Amino acid sequence: MLASRSLYAALPSQVKQDKSSFAGKADHAIRIEPCTLEISPGVNIQTLAYNGQVPGPLLRLREGVPVTIDVTNSSQNADLVHWHGLAIDSLNDGAMEEGSPMIAVGETHRYSFTPKPSGTRWYHTHAAAYDNLAMGTYTGQFGFLLIEGREQPARYDKEINLAIHHWGPSFVPMVETMREQSSNMPLTTGSDVGYKYATINSHRLGAGEPIRVKHGERVLMRLLNASATENVVLALPGHKFTIMAMDGNPVPNPKSVEVLSLAVAERVDAIVEMNSPGVWVLGSTLAKEREMGLGIVIEYAGKTGTPMWTDPAPEIWDYTQFANASASPHTPDEIFELTFRDFGPKPGSKFDTWTINKRSWPDIDPLMVQQGKRYRLVFRNGSGDQHPMHLHRHTFEVTRIGKTKISGLMKDVINVMPLDTVEVEFVANNPGDTLMHCHQQLHMDYGFMQLIKYSV
């Protein structure tokens, strides 16, 4: 554990912001504070949250309109907020690896930026947790960040924001347990985190109010996987999800599916046509996860009774169905080949160390890019785990999944399956230090990160 803490020793620490920068009242205010969350009758979670609620306050911002957000740290540890999916400067991005300052206990920090691009983004803590599973994204520090542009993704009658989270984390050494209750389905043995409970928004399945709909409504569901380490697979029996956007970006080929997959940090905007009256469960396709609470009741007007669930037909999640079937017409200026592997735990640690090309953060050289050029990142997963790869401050185009070439699918998180290869390309159009990492908290804490730096 002592060795693990050294990973962040050379990074910006608890910086007090010059109060002269606090000109006038901020547009929004967020407080990081302890919260007791009753996720079902008699089941209380002690966690950290934003403004005492989970998810945190819904932030609706206008694309291109400057905004200020004051964040006050009323917790017991330094922390910071990452504005996930925004093309903003490194200082305000909210990642200490890029130079964003940690917010000291009792201090208020003002974030100032111009939000872009439009779409479903989110905000969350970017603090390390290591083996303290009451820190980082294991907590309730997350919220929806909707950047409104000129165009709507589709016509709809009602919008619903649904954030998935897992609670009660603990060390789980046996992969067999993970296979029973997790959609991650690791191929190899090793250390991992398991959970007691799961929620959609602030309640377990059957607790809280149902989502009430009317026959014939078109409902826009914004779904966010805000879990620390758990990927999820969801279904709503009797209905289909028409996928309109991924990670806030419109997909080239909107398509209806019965089952959708959300890796950690991914978002999906889907239109669901309410054409099957009844009382249904929207939830995990795994019975064990539904028992943990991963679901919510959908109730049609005038309908009562026990919520219904039927198992969907087995379906393999395929990103390529939402993309153009043609290869990207662009040629990258440079290609970076990156191989991910698990090298087991270091002495004194419960959890495994992760490497990119046999190097772990912070002992890893940055990838150097030049402004205006196009780069291909070849993600080679040499491990038995799934890895949701996230690129800060940029949006990338997915250009290959396995052997299939595609184009037009723009994302900021892509899930790389065990022993698979995925290729993405991005344009270096936002100068400043940029972090790339696996979004599983457990993996990034133990080395799975690398910086991209712009050449001067």
User: CA 305 to CA 316: how far, in whole Å?
Assistant: 32
Residue 8 has what pLDDT?
Answer: 41
**Are residues 373 and 407 located together in one domain of the fold?**
yes
**Are residues 220 and 275 located together in one domain of the fold?**
yes
Residue located via tokens 């910006």: 12
Query: Residue 323: inside a domain, yes or no?
Result: no
Mean pLDDT on 347-369: 92
Confidence of residue 184 (pLDDT cuts 50, 70, 90): low
**Are residues 28 and 99 located together in one domain of the fold?**
yes
The answer on pLDDT for 32 being more than 90 is yes
- DSSP at 362: T
| Sign of the torsion formed by the C-alpha atoms of 191, 356, 390 and 68 | positive
**Are residues 143 and 162 located together in one domain of the fold?**
no
Number of domains comprising the chain: 3
**Are residues 252 and 352 located together in one domain of the fold?**
no
The answer on pLDDT for 343 being more than 90 is no
**Are residues 115 and 14 located together in one domain of the fold?**
yes
Determine the distance from the C-alpha atom of residue 6 to the mean position of all C-alpha atoms in its chain, rounded to a whole number: 26
**Are residues 47 and 190 located together in one domain of the fold?**
no
Q: Which of 275, 290, 317 is the last residue of a domain?
A: 317
Residue 7 has what pLDDT?
Answer: 39
Residue 1 has what pLDDT?
Answer: 31
**pLDDT per position as a tens digit, 401-410:** 999 999 999 9
**Are residues 238 and 283 located together in one domain of the fold?**
yes
Residue 154 has what pLDDT?
Answer: 80
**pLDDT per position as a tens digit, 248-304:** 999 999 999 999 999 999 999 999 999 999 999 999 999 999 999 999 999 999 999
The model's pTM: 0.93
**Are residues 19 and 44 located together in one domain of the fold?**
yes
Residue 424 has what pLDDT?
Answer: 98
User: CA 416 to CA 81: how far, in whole Å?
Assistant: 26
- DSSP reduced 3-state for 171: strand
The boundaries of the domain holding residue 232 are 158-317
**Are residues 302 and 246 located together in one domain of the fold?**
yes
Q: Which helix (H) or strand (E) holds 170?
A: strand 170-172
Q: Which of 148, 183, 199 is the last residue of a domain?
A: 148
Domain containing residue 132: CATH number: 2.60.40.420
Residue located via tokens 């956007």: 245
Residue 12 has what pLDDT?
Answer: 45
**Are residues 309 and 366 located together in one domain of the fold?**
no
| Secondary structure (H, E, C), 42-85 | CEEEEEEEECCECCCCCEEEECCCCEEEEEEECCCCCECEEEEC
Give the contacts of 176 (CB within 8 A, at least 6 positions apart).
none
As a dihedral over the C-alpha atoms of residue 209, residue 214, residue 220, residue 224, rounded to 10 degrees, the angle is 20
Instruction: Tell me the C-alpha to C-alpha distance, in Å, between residue 119 and each of 27, 48, 332, 333.
Output: 20, 26, 26, 28
Query: Residue 135: inside a domain, yes or no?
Result: yes
Query: Residue 325: inside a domain, yes or no?
Result: no
Around Cβ 170, how many Cβ atoms within 10 Å? 9
- β-strand pairing of 192-194 with 142-148: unpaired
**pLDDT per position as a tens digit, 66-93:** 999 999 999 999 999 999 999 999 999 9
List the alpha helices (DSSP H) in 226-379: 287-292
The answer on pLDDT for 9 being more than 50 is no
If you average pLDDT over every residue of the chain, what do you get?
92
Confidence of residue 19 (pLDDT cuts 50, 70, 90): low
Query: Residue 360: inside a domain, yes or no?
Result: yes
Mean pLDDT on 241-253: 97
**pLDDT per position as a tens digit, 97-138:** 999 999 999 999 999 999 999 999 999 999 999 999 999 999
Give the contacts of 284 (CB within 8 A, at least 6 positions apart).
183, 198, 232, 233, 234, 290, 294, 295
Confidence of residue 10 (pLDDT cuts 50, 70, 90): very low
**Are residues 313 and 358 located together in one domain of the fold?**
no
The answer on pLDDT for 6 being more than 50 is no
Residue 245 has what pLDDT?
Answer: 97
Of 3-12, 171-180, 290-299, the range with the lowest mean pLDDT is 3-12
